[in-house]
Amino acid sequence: MEDDAVRERDARAYEAVHEAADFTELKRRYKNFVVPWTITFMVWYLAYVACNNWARDFMSTRVVGHINIALIFGLLQFVSTFVIAFLYGRFANRKLDPLASGLNAKYKRERRR
Protein backbone atom coordinates (compact mmCIF):
# COMPACT_ATOMS: atom_id res chain seq x y z
CA MET A 1 0.00 0.00 0.00
CA GLU A 2 2.74 2.45 0.95
CA ASP A 3 4.60 1.75 -2.31
CA ASP A 4 1.51 2.75 -4.28
CA ALA A 5 1.27 6.04 -2.39
CA VAL A 6 4.94 6.75 -3.03
CA ARG A 7 4.56 5.95 -6.73
CA GLU A 8 1.50 8.16 -6.99
CA ARG A 9 3.26 11.04 -5.23
CA ASP A 10 6.30 10.63 -7.50
CA ALA A 11 4.06 10.54 -10.57
CA ARG A 12 2.32 13.75 -9.50
CA ALA A 13 5.68 15.42 -8.90
CA TYR A 14 6.93 14.32 -12.31
CA GLU A 15 3.74 15.57 -13.98
CA ALA A 16 4.18 18.98 -12.32
CA VAL A 17 7.75 19.24 -13.57
CA HIS A 18 6.84 17.95 -17.02
CA GLU A 19 4.14 20.61 -17.38
CA ALA A 20 6.45 23.45 -16.29
CA ALA A 21 7.47 26.05 -18.88
CA ASP A 22 11.09 25.61 -17.79
CA PHE A 23 10.96 21.94 -18.77
CA THR A 24 9.80 22.82 -22.28
CA GLU A 25 12.53 25.46 -22.49
CA LEU A 26 15.14 22.97 -21.28
CA LYS A 27 14.16 20.48 -24.00
CA ARG A 28 14.14 23.23 -26.63
CA ARG A 29 17.62 24.47 -25.68
CA TYR A 30 18.99 20.92 -25.58
CA LYS A 31 17.61 20.06 -29.02
CA ASN A 32 18.80 23.35 -30.49
CA PHE A 33 22.35 22.45 -29.49
CA VAL A 34 22.41 18.71 -30.05
CA VAL A 35 20.65 18.38 -33.41
CA PRO A 36 22.83 20.82 -35.42
CA TRP A 37 26.06 19.54 -33.89
CA THR A 38 25.08 15.92 -34.48
CA ILE A 39 24.29 16.65 -38.12
CA THR A 40 27.54 18.59 -38.50
CA PHE A 41 29.60 15.79 -37.00
CA MET A 42 27.88 13.10 -39.07
CA VAL A 43 28.45 15.04 -42.31
CA TRP A 44 32.11 15.54 -41.36
CA TYR A 45 32.50 11.85 -40.48
CA LEU A 46 30.77 10.62 -43.65
CA ALA A 47 32.89 12.98 -45.76
CA TYR A 48 35.97 11.43 -44.15
CA VAL A 49 34.73 7.91 -44.91
CA ALA A 50 33.73 8.86 -48.47
CA CYS A 51 37.12 10.43 -49.15
CA ASN A 52 38.87 7.33 -47.85
CA ASN A 53 36.79 5.16 -50.18
CA TRP A 54 36.58 7.24 -53.33
CA ALA A 55 39.30 9.91 -53.18
CA ARG A 56 42.28 7.74 -52.44
CA ASP A 57 44.72 9.85 -54.44
CA PHE A 58 43.70 12.95 -52.50
CA MET A 59 43.82 11.17 -49.14
CA SER A 60 47.23 9.65 -49.85
CA THR A 61 48.76 13.05 -50.62
CA ARG A 62 51.78 13.47 -48.38
CA VAL A 63 51.93 16.64 -46.33
CA VAL A 64 55.11 16.19 -44.29
CA GLY A 65 57.29 13.09 -44.48
CA HIS A 66 55.04 10.04 -44.12
CA ILE A 67 52.11 12.08 -42.82
CA ASN A 68 49.33 12.22 -45.38
CA ILE A 69 45.93 13.90 -45.56
CA ALA A 70 44.14 10.72 -44.44
CA LEU A 71 46.12 10.66 -41.19
CA ILE A 72 45.44 14.35 -40.57
CA PHE A 73 41.71 13.91 -41.25
CA GLY A 74 41.66 10.89 -38.95
CA LEU A 75 43.27 12.86 -36.14
CA LEU A 76 40.86 15.73 -36.77
CA GLN A 77 37.99 13.31 -36.15
CA PHE A 78 39.24 12.92 -32.57
CA VAL A 79 39.87 16.63 -32.21
CA SER A 80 36.39 17.50 -33.43
CA THR A 81 34.85 15.04 -30.97
CA PHE A 82 36.65 16.67 -28.05
CA VAL A 83 35.82 20.18 -29.30
CA ILE A 84 32.11 19.33 -29.51
CA ALA A 85 32.22 17.75 -26.04
CA PHE A 86 33.91 20.87 -24.66
CA LEU A 87 31.36 23.15 -26.34
CA TYR A 88 28.50 21.04 -25.01
CA GLY A 89 29.91 21.14 -21.48
CA ARG A 90 30.22 24.90 -21.61
CA PHE A 91 26.74 25.25 -23.12
CA ALA A 92 25.20 22.93 -20.52
CA ASN A 93 26.82 24.80 -17.64
CA ARG A 94 25.53 28.15 -18.87
CA LYS A 95 22.15 27.32 -20.44
CA LEU A 96 20.91 23.91 -19.26
CA ASP A 97 22.11 23.40 -15.71
CA PRO A 98 20.39 26.46 -14.21
CA LEU A 99 17.03 25.31 -15.63
CA ALA A 100 17.65 21.70 -14.62
CA SER A 101 18.54 22.74 -11.06
CA GLY A 102 15.32 24.72 -10.79
CA LEU A 103 13.31 21.80 -12.10
CA ASN A 104 15.05 19.43 -9.70
CA ALA A 105 14.16 21.70 -6.78
CA LYS A 106 10.55 21.86 -8.02
CA TYR A 107 10.45 18.04 -8.23
CA LYS A 108 11.75 17.70 -4.68
CA ARG A 109 9.18 20.23 -3.39
CA GLU A 110 6.37 18.41 -5.19
CA ARG A 111 7.47 15.06 -3.75
CA ARG A 112 7.20 16.40 -0.20
CA ARG A 113 3.54 17.34 -0.65
pLDDT tens per residue across span 71-113:
999 999 999 999 999 999 999 999 999 999 999 999 999 888 7
* CA dist., res. 14 & res. 59, Å (int): 52
Question: Angle 81-97-26 (CA atoms, 0-180°, nearest 5)?
Answer: 90
pLDDT higher than 90, residue 10? no
pTM of the model: 0.85
What's the domain count of the chain? 1
Using the CB atoms, write b or e for 46-58: b if 16+ within 10 Å: eebeeeeeeeeee
pLDDT tens per residue across span 34-79:
999 999 999 999 999 999 999 999 999 999 999 999 999 999 999 9
Residue-number span of the structural domain to which 46 is assigned: 2-112
